[in-house]
Chains A and B, each alone.
Chain A
Amino acid sequence: MESLINLIIFLLLLTLGYVFGRMAESRHYKSIRQREDELRSLLVMPKKVPPPQYALYESELVMGNVVISVDYFKTFVAGLRSIFGGRVGAYESLLDRARREAVLRMQEQAQAIGAEAVYNLKFETARIGQSAGQGLGSVEVLAYGTALLPPSVYSEMAPQA
């Protein structure tokens, strides 16, 4: 009897994780794609040194972070995967979402201060939460870079050549 209840709870969690996890993921991807289209004009480069046309620009550090949690279904699927080996698609999409979201937040911050480009993009990924010891609980991704702001003083004084 007790094992039956346990099985029912497990199946319930699995279904809940599958349904809500899928919903959350597709909603998130939709919003990511939409915002990526809007922010396409703001240049983000992982290059260390900006080209000479930015020589007069002001620079400022911008960053964006996000913590995304796994769902029960993903944990289960990844657990199965670790027996057979191979690609763990469940976690790939999780990290992909987190990275793109972090970059978007960084771009939003850069846009808010009026930047034209962000150079020297760096990523930082960390596992957090009480399950940090076992498996993947939730991941934090931080994206940061240097935003380049057009020199307001110069552009007001003389039109740029």
Chain B
Amino acid sequence: MLISNMEVVPGKKIVKHLGLVQGSTVRAKHAGRDFMAGLKNIFGGELTGYTELLTESRDEAMERLSEQARAIGANAIVNVRFSTSSIAAGASEIFVYGTAVVVEDR
């Protein structure tokens, strides 16, 4: 599956548009991590635990995105965008969407 955030794929021709595909995931941190983050709010610095957590959730959202695209017979997703929102204290939603297309070599 070719995933790109450009509208066109260099060297490839879009032969068919299959519409919007999306993937999302909501994740929460466990209390231990939250406690550590609270401490870090005093000292400053990177919150490695949160960085990893968000990377994992983004990977999962991308997995769902490509699953959906595969199901409708696409071989590429173009114009991919990410969006993150804190929906509740300690939980954030990662949303990724794009256009499923069929591409061919030019």
Contact = CB atoms under 8 A, between A and B. Distances in A.
B103 to A, nearest CB: 11
Contact of A65 (B38, B41, B55): B55
Q: Say which size band chain A's interface belongs to.
A: 35 or more
A74 interface: yes
A111 interface: no
Interface stretch (A36-44, A77-85, A116-124): A116-124
B6 A49 contact: yes
A16 interface: yes
Contact of B82 (A20, A66, A142): A142
B5 A71 contact: no
B3 interface: yes
Contacts of B42: 13, 16-17, 20, 71-72
Contacts of A142: 54, 58, 82, 84
B43 A24 contact: yes
Contacts, number: 140
Contacts of B45: 20-21, 24, 28, 68-69, 71
A133 B85 CA distance: 12
Q: Say which size band chain B's interface belongs to.
A: 35 or more
Contacts of A74: 44
Interface centre among B10, B46, B51 (most CB of A within 10 A): B10
Contact of A122 (B5, B41, B47, B48): B5
Nearest to A126: B84
Given A60-B4, A69-B45, A142-B54, 11 more contacts: A17-B43, A49-B7, A49-B8, A67-B47, A67-B50, A68-B46, A69-B41, A72-B42, A133-B89, A138-B40, A144-B5
24 contacts: A17-B43, A21-B43, A24-B43, A49-B6, A50-B6, A50-B10, A55-B11, A57-B11, A59-B4, A59-B6, A61-B80, A63-B82, A65-B51, A66-B46, A67-B50, A69-B40, A70-B41, A71-B43, A128-B84, A130-B37, A140-B51, A140-B54, A146-B4, A148-B10
Interface of B: 2-11, 34, 37-38, 40-48, 50-51, 54-55, 58, 80-86, 89-90, 92
